[in-house]
Amino acid sequence: MNKKDELNVAQKEAVLHTEGPLLIVAGAGAGKTKTLTARIASLIASGTPGESILAVTFTNKAAKEMRERVAALISADQSGSMPFVGTFHSLGVRLIRDNSEKLGVTRHFTILDEEDARSIIKDSLISRGLDPKQFEPRKIKAIISRNKSDFVTREQFAEKTSSYIEEVTHAVWEEYEARKKRENSLDFDDLLLLPTLLLKSDAFVREQYQRLWRHVHVDEYQDTNKVQYTLVTLLAEKHKNICVVGDSDQNIYSWRGANIENILRFERDYPGAKVVLLEENYRSTKTIIEAANEVIKKNAVRIPKNLFTNNKEGEKISLFEAWNEEDEARFVARTADRLIQEGAQPNNITVLYRANFQSRVLEEAFLMANVPYQVLGTKFFDRKEIKDVISYIKAALNRESLADVKRIINTPARGIGKTTIAKLFANQFGELPATMQKKINGFYAVLAEIKEAVETTKPSEAIKFLIKKTGIEEVLATGSEEDKERLENIKELVTLATRYDPLEGMEGVEKLLEDAALASEQDSLEEKKEKIGVKLMTVHTSKGLEFPHVFVVGLEQGLFPHDRMDTQKTKDEDEEERRLFYVALTRAREKVYLSWANMRTIFGMKQVNTPSEFLYDIPEQLIERKEREHENEFGGKVIYLD
The residues annotated with a catalytic role in the active site are 32-33, 219-220, 250, 587
Distances (CA, A) of 231 to 39, 91, 307: 22, 10, 31
**Cα–Cα nearest to 626, from 355, 330, 285, 326:** 330
In terms of phi and psi (left: phi > 0; alpha: psi -120 to 50; beta: otherwise), the region of 391 is: alpha
At a CB cut-off of 8 Å and minimum separation 6, what does 571 contact? none
d(CA 314, CA 263): 33
**Cα–Cα nearest to 396, from 438, 441, 442, 453:** 453
d(CA 28, CA 583): 8
Tell me how far the alpha carbon of residue 312 is from its chain's centroid.
33
d(CA 572, CA 563): 13
Q: Which amino acid is at 565?
A: M
How many C-alpha atoms does 592 have within 13 Å on its Cβ side? 32
d(CA 346, CA 604): 32
Distances (CA, A) of 57 to 133, 218, 282, 584: 38, 6, 22, 21
Reduce the DSSP state of residue 427 to 3 states and report it: coil
d(CA 571, CA 582): 17
d(CA 103, CA 101): 5
Distances (CA, A) of 636 to 320, 333, 366, 390: 21, 17, 19, 37
Q: Considering only CA atoms, give the Rg of the chain.
A: 27
**Cα–Cα nearest to 437, from 449, 450, 428:** 428
Question: Is residue 618 packed enough to be buried (19+ CB in 10 Å), middle (13-18) or exposed (0-12)?
Answer: buried
Give the helix, strand, coil percentages of the chain, each rounded to 5.
55, 15, 30
d(CA 617, CA 507): 48
Query: Do 543 and 272 meet the contact criterion of CB atoms below 8 Å apart?
Result: no
Sign (positive/negative) of CA torsion 454, 324, 335, 351?
negative
**Cα–Cα nearest to 617, from 592, 582, 591:** 582
Tell me how far the alpha carbon of residue 297 is from its chain's centroid.
25
Phi, psi of 592 (to 5 degrees): -120, 135
**Cα–Cα nearest to 154, from 187, 116, 203, 111:** 187
Strands 588-602 and 605-608: antiparallel
Question: Is residue 300 packed enough to be buried (19+ CB in 10 Å), middle (13-18) or exposed (0-12)?
Answer: exposed
